[in-house]
Structure 1
Amino acid sequence: MTISPAKIFIDYKDAKKILKQLEISFIEEKEKATSLRKSDLTKEFITHSYKNDYRNTYRIARENLDYNLLIEEDGSIFQFGYELDGNEKICDLRYAYYEAPSIQVSYEEYLHDLELNIEECGEVFFEEYSQALSEGELKKNVTSVRYDFSIEHRQELIHPVSHIHIGQQNDIRIPVSFIMTPKNFVAFIVRHIYWNKWRIGMIDPHFREDYLSSYSTGEVMGSVLFSAEEKRDLCFKFNV
């Protein structure tokens, strides 16, 4: 049991809707939005993502446009990707959220500090701005979250087919009882990382219902992928 590519694209669109409802503005990398494949990520990013150098990994992602969504207010990025097996069925999913490792300011704010404005400068100072961001003061703590679904790498109990990683360079791998979609993942991120905006959004009954129903789009897995023993373990699940 798995989900279809069409479902990924539908829920990717709904994921953006959640961000818009909470007034979390973003820049979309349009070319990757037409594909949503894991293979869209550059080899340079993939290589560095396994190293213990979060700042450099983030820098490469920004420079290579290795993201689908860039959150404008804080520079955090979302990545979404799937792969197909020989039968054209999804066998692998990867969604990731990378918090910016340093304090971010907008390009307009950067120019303002130089007593300039974007109307007269345009993109002339954008390279210097990007360099300043990459060299900015590091935050004391940063959060990264990654969701993986991999039929090939599944080992019952040891390596769940569907799971969430929180943080870098650790063995945290929390089982998930269903196959997450981009909408599920973004709902999880805004609930726990953009908590203040989520809390305010929950006052609106329309958003409240959209959020609470967002996980019902996930595909519950059968015993082939999620065994009886795995169901006895601690895991993330949703109630309809």
Structure 2
Amino acid sequence: MLTATEIYNDIVNVTTKVISAGISSGGEKMPSMKHEGNISEIGISGVKDIASALKNMPYEELHSVLETHKFFNFRLADGGLIQMIYLFKDDKIWKHKLGYFPSPTFEPYQNEAELYMEDCIYLEILDKRVLPVAIRFDYDCTDGVHSDLTHPKSHLTLGQYKNCRIPVCSPITPSLFIEFILRSFYNTALINFSETINFNFIRFDQNATQKEMDRIHIRIR
């Protein structure tokens, strides 16, 4: 089972590599780690968790608040925000919130596509058929929260849909999360900078239920 220190170091590693590749746009923050009793929290340096204040907020406003309060680990060149927060209890994974919040609109890039064609970070969004979709991987093993299929301990939410909880076989580590986001939405940049963005993946143990594994789900080996 992975420890809080290992996850902290994984966030430092992926953040450093994203910066080195030049696909972030400044404002990067290294993770913070604080301990209170048997709880360890890996958060974002210098930023208070404001997640509870963001519920039922229009997406454009939500993205603006995240950016204004700098509630992100790093900002990608096209305005996408990456957020990674973990909680451990007795040095075992308890909760995590991993978010990718793309710019609310790609129109400024799509309307002047010729200006961005030479920069690989923008290539995937220049097609006018492309729409921004928020991505969240959440994990919570608190007693009473989990409900088979309805609320898996580890799940993927697309587009802020309240009841979109696609089962995931295990909690997600920072390196796997960032590689997934880059491969899915910044594929050209990932390929071009493959020598720099060469993550060493670490993995949590699987803990999805049999019923969740019998349905469409995300499995990581």
Q: Which residue in the other structure is 1:180 paired with?
A: 172
State TM-score, norm by structure 2: 0.72
CA distance in 1, matches of 2:217, 2:20: 28
Q: Percent identity?
A: 20
State TM-score, norm by structure 1: 0.67
CA distance in 2, matches of 1:103, 1:227: 38
Of residues 93, 98, 107, the one that matches 1:90 is 93
Contact in 2 for aligned 1:145/1:167 (Cα 8 Å)? yes
CA distance in 1, matches of 2:167, 2:141: 14
Q: Is 1:34 aligned with 2:32?
A: yes
CA distance in 2, matches of 1:21, 1:234: 36
Q: Is 1:218 aligned with 2:169?
A: no
Contact in 1 for aligned 2:100/2:135 (Cα 8 Å)? yes
How many Å apart are 1:156 and its aligned residue?
A: 2.0
Q: What's the CA shift string for 1:45-95, capped at 9, x where partnerless?
A: 5322x2150011111111111111112x2121111112233x353311101
Contact in 1 for aligned 2:11/2:175 (Cα 8 Å)? yes
State how many pairs are aligned.
Answer: 190
CA distance in 2, matches of 1:93, 1:230: 19
Which letter maps to 1:60? V
CA distance in 2, matches of 1:237, 1:183: 16
Q: Is 1:233 aligned with 2:215?
A: yes
Choose between structure 1 and 2: higher helix proportion.
1
CA distance in 2, matches of 1:5, 1:104: 40
Q: What SS does the corresponding residue of 2:26 show, helix, strand or coil?
A: strand
Q: Which residue in the other structure is 1:79 paired with?
A: 83
CA distance in 2, matches of 1:234, 1:16: 31
Task: Provide structure 2 residue ranges, at least 5 long, that are not aligned to the other structure.
Answer: 34-41, 109-128
Q: Is 1:168 aligned with 2:160?
A: yes
Q: What's the CA shift string for 1:140-195, capped at 9, x where partnerless?
A: 82221111010022212221111111112353222111221111110110010112
